[in-house]
Structure 1
Amino acid sequence: MSYFFYILVNNIVPISIMIAIGVAMYRAFKIDIKTLSKLNFYVFSPALVFVKLYESEMNLHVLMQVLLFFVLFFSLLFAVIEIYIRLKKMHRGMRIAMRNSVIFYNSANYALPLNQTVFGGNAYTLSVQIVIMIMQTLIPNTYGIYTLNAHKSSWKATLKTILSLPVIYAIPVALLLRYFHLPVPSPIHIPLDYISNAFMATALLTLGVQLGGMKWEFHFSNVLVSNILRLAVGPLLGFLVVWMLGIEGLTAKALVLSCAVPTSLSSVLLAIEYENEPEFSSQAVFASTLFSMFTIPVVIYFLGFM
């Protein structure tokens, strides 16, 4: 029960307040959603990734084990959602949006504080979550953009779009600086800290602005299925993969918990930036964040049996 109230007070309520402010700002000033989207893609997201990677603690053994888990988990989750969207014969735009709402999950601003709360600030479990965060940052900014542009641009144009994103360079630079123990000059590190700390607020305000401008033709069945696959099937597959790989202890618990978080804001930012089902994507993020208040305590309860 304590986890239920923790998630309510420290995740759901603050997130809802920020989204509500975004809605109010749109209604009052008709804020340009595209400008907010570009700030998230080109400024806030790269800074967050760089800072989190540079400050993380990880070793090669943890990295390889977690990467193997992620590849298997991601493949199984992708297969499940692919079967569903093919059976439903969805049109291309909704197929992409539905897929993104399930395979892209909030591994940073939701999962990091949740990990530290559940495991009492354990540095090892944090390093596990950081690796997941790396992958969940890289894939939307490569595969996610490719799927949205492949039908309307040449592969060269799509590759150029991907390579124009700063987050692609933030990851290797942060890892190299960590590996060689090179300090980031203070005049650079301080603004990066400021910007990374602003990511969550800006992303949630962007979601609120998007929700405020929507016609609210609710995609009930698709949002419901998306949430079930993300919040219920996701952690079940996580349990299955750690069992298949024989992973035990804190590593297994941290990996399963990482699979249980709601849909990532990146799915909304991609939908807005490339004009692909932004209403459904916004509703999927909002609903999954709300319902996670009930599903995550259940997952945490079962972690006690691992």
Structure 2
Amino acid sequence: MNVFLHVLTQNILPIMLVVSFGYLLRRRLALDSGTLSSVIFYILSPCLVFSSLATSNLPADELAVLVAFSAVSILVTGGLALVLARLLHLDRAALATLLIVAMFVNAGNYGLTLLQLRYGDEGLARGVVYYVTSTIMAYTLGVAIASLGRVSWRATGQRIVRLPAVYAVLLAIVVYAFRLPVPAPLMNGITIAGSGAIPLMLVALGMQIADMQPEADGRLVWPAVGLRLLGGPLVGIAIAALLGLQGAGRSAMIIESAMPAAVINLILAAEFGLPTSTVARIVVFSTLISPLTIAAAITVLGL
């Protein structure tokens, strides 16, 4: 119980506090959340990705294993969502909704902050791998699922090439692989911008939650929340054991797989005509309940 309370108060409560700042800013001052999200998406997040990967001391083989974990865990969770959808006899729109909220988690705003607080730069470096892999899959596989045939592969490809994080990843891989020197002023500027991404991600999350309208048919909400918060970490544990992950890598990957549904799912739902109010409820409820489930997972597994 002492470990559980320590994780809850020392690692997760500070995150929720910053999220509440964003919520209050949006509610009280009606600040524009879209502008802040664009700054994070187009500038700060790519800088975080580049600075974390390009300067990473992770061995190439561990990096490959972390990417494999991230991709496989997302796909396996999607498989479980398909099974659940059949049991619930969901229609096409509800199926797409369940798939995206189960597969794509808040690995950035929430996950990276928690890993940095709990494990420092060692945890953050590994969490960034999950975040980048998840982001790329959300804008490729996630778009395909949300559209369910309504968007061509060409259109999907056009969306991908507009993602700043994709270019940050490619450049970081080149720098990492060939150990290319980056001029100190440039690298320092990128690092400073990247360090601002995490706190502003949390503020943006609070502002986005304040914008959500929770009215919806609740029949899909609780099965989806349960699959995300309980099924996610169980899948993470199994895949970590299968891939032989140990230490900080195992802890970071399991914690990322235990994160609540991502706000990006709301963007996908709005873009492709899925029930946004249902997605909003899943995101909000999974985020509010997640401190308890994540603290429990860390305590039980000794992460």
Give the TM-score of the pair, scaled to structure 2.
0.80
**Which deviates the most, 167-176 or 275-284?**
275-284
> Is the CA contact (8 Å cut-off) linking 2:44 and 2:194 kept in structure 1?
yes
> Is the CA contact (8 Å cut-off) linking 1:104 and 1:136 kept in structure 2?
yes
Q: Deviations over 1:113-168 (max 9, x none)?
A: 444555x5483x55543432331222113222343456444332221122111111
**1:80 Cα shift?**
0.3
For residue 257 of structure 1, the aligned residue among 251, 255, 258 is 255
Seen in structure 2, the aligned counterparts of structure 1 residues 221 and 149 have a Cα distance that, compared at 3 Å, is: closer
**1:227 Cα shift?**
2.2
> Is the CA contact (8 Å cut-off) linking 1:210 and 1:282 kept in structure 2?
no
- Report percent identity of matched pairs: 29
Seen in structure 2, the aligned counterparts of structure 1 residues 156 and 121 have a Cα distance that, compared at 3 Å, is: closer
For the residue of structure 2 that corresponds to 1:110, the secondary structure is: helix
The number of aligned residues is 303
1:133 to 2:131 alignment = yes
> Is the CA contact (8 Å cut-off) linking 2:99 and 2:145 kept in structure 1?
no
Query: Where do 5+ consecutive residues of structure 1 fail to align?
Result: none
For the residue of structure 2 that corresponds to 1:164, the secondary structure is: coil
Q: Distance in 2 between matches of 1:34 and 1:122?
A: 29
**Which deviates the most, 281-290 or 200-209?**
200-209
**1:217 Cα shift?**
0.8
For the residue of structure 2 that corresponds to 1:261, the secondary structure is: coil
**1:207 Cα shift?**
3.7
Q: Distance in 2 between matches of 1:37 and 1:250?
A: 30
Seen in structure 2, the aligned counterparts of structure 1 residues 90 and 210 have a Cα distance that, compared at 3 Å, is: farther
1:172 to 2:150 alignment = no
Seen in structure 2, the aligned counterparts of structure 1 residues 201 and 252 have a Cα distance that, compared at 3 Å, is: closer
Paired residues for 1:143-154 under 5 Å? 143-149=141-147, 151-154=149-152
1:288 to 2:286 alignment = yes
Seen in structure 2, the aligned counterparts of structure 1 residues 153 and 258 have a Cα distance that, compared at 3 Å, is: closer
Paired residues for 1:108-257 under 5 Å? 108-115=108-115, 118=118, 120-121=119-120, 123=122, 127-149=125-147, 151-247=149-245, 251-257=249-255
Query: Where do 5+ consecutive residues of structure 2 fail to align?
Result: none
Question: 1:51 aligns to what?
Answer: 51
Question: 1:64 aligns to what?
Answer: 64
**Which deviates the most, 105-114 or 53-62?**
105-114
Give the TM-score of the pair, scaled to structure 1.
0.80
